Chains A and B, each alone.
Chain A
Amino acid sequence: MLVLTVAVATLALALGAWAAVRLARDLPVILRQLVAGGAVEVALLGQVAAAVALTASGHALAEPLTFWGYLVFALLILPGAGAWAFADRTRWSSAVLLVGTITVVVMELRMWQLWGQVIPG
């Protein structure tokens, strides 16, 4: 789970840095960034699969509802930013993508905390 958390967060950070560069250069989000966003989503889906497998084989989460809620919402953030990029062809779509990637990173940190909180025994 740590590997996947780091992978998602690193990919999201890289995409956020890319969006920040395009924001600074007054450029909108381009399709290649959406492909990169797709890579983040694939990593997130991998995290879902790993979480399902590990909880099924005995990893008892202290707050399962919160954890799964974060995971599902994390999956929705970048598609939302992507839809925004199609509607808004200005630099501000880059700013929205940057906000989205920061949100994903923060959610990954929170999910990592929640994953470590297991029911004792």
Chain B
Amino acid sequence: MTGSEHEHDELDDRPPSLGPGRVLIAVYGVFALAASARASVQIIRDVSEAPLAYGLSAFAAVVYIVATLALAHNGARSRVVAWVAVSVELVGVLTVGAASLALPEAFPRDTVWSGFGAGYGYVPLVLPVIGLIYLSRSRPGRVSAG
């Protein structure tokens, strides 16, 4: 811990970014892996089959990877990145979820976000909400042992 971080901590009475936040990071890590693997498989197999859905899968994978790394790093700038990534994720799951129900013909193949994440137990819908609550309630500063 440097002096400046310590002063920053004294000004900020929110709880440190420890504990439950680590579980959130772990779940994000799993989704980053799952979404990347799924997008890779879809694109390797036949990208022309459903370019929109497969493109969205790849985009979702990148968002999850960025969110995982930014949440884990938890520095001042990476928290901004995390805010953006988690917000994009929430907008994405709501938009794609609604669009997949309204225009099923545009999504011949599922993405992580289709049907508001129904294929993944709605975790993709709940995760960004928890992520935003976590970001607003946790204290900046590196995750450290404790």
Contact = CB atoms under 8 A, between A and B. Distances in A.
B23 A99 contact: yes
- The 6 A-B pairs of least Cβ separation, nearest first, read A96-B26, A95-B23, A92-B22, A69-B37, A65-B41, A99-B26
B1 interface: no
B133 interface: no
Specify the main secondary structure of chain A where it touches its partner: helix
A5 interface: no
A84 B44 contact: no
A42 to B, nearest CB: 22
B interface residue count range (under 10 / 10 to 19 / 20 to 34 / 35 or more): 10 to 19
Contact of B30 (A69, A92, A103): A103
Contact of B19 (A73, A89, A92): A92
Contacts of B29: 80
A24 to B, nearest CB: 14
Interface residues of A, number: 22
Interface of A: 65-66, 69-70, 73, 76-77, 80-81, 84, 87-93, 95-96, 99-100, 103
Interface of B: 18-20, 22-23, 26-27, 29-30, 33-34, 37, 40-41, 44-45, 145-146
Nearest to A66: B41
Given A70-B37, A93-B22, 18 more contacts: A65-B41, A66-B41, A69-B40, A69-B41, A73-B33, A73-B34, A73-B37, A77-B30, A80-B29, A88-B145, A90-B19, A90-B145, A92-B18, A92-B20, A95-B23, A95-B26, A96-B22, A99-B26
Contacts of B22: 84, 88, 92-93, 95-96
26 contacts: A65-B44, A65-B45, A66-B41, A69-B37, A69-B40, A69-B41, A70-B37, A73-B33, A73-B34, A73-B37, A81-B26, A84-B26, A87-B145, A88-B22, A88-B145, A90-B145, A91-B19, A92-B20, A93-B22, A95-B26, A96-B23, A96-B26, A99-B23, A99-B27, A99-B30, A100-B26
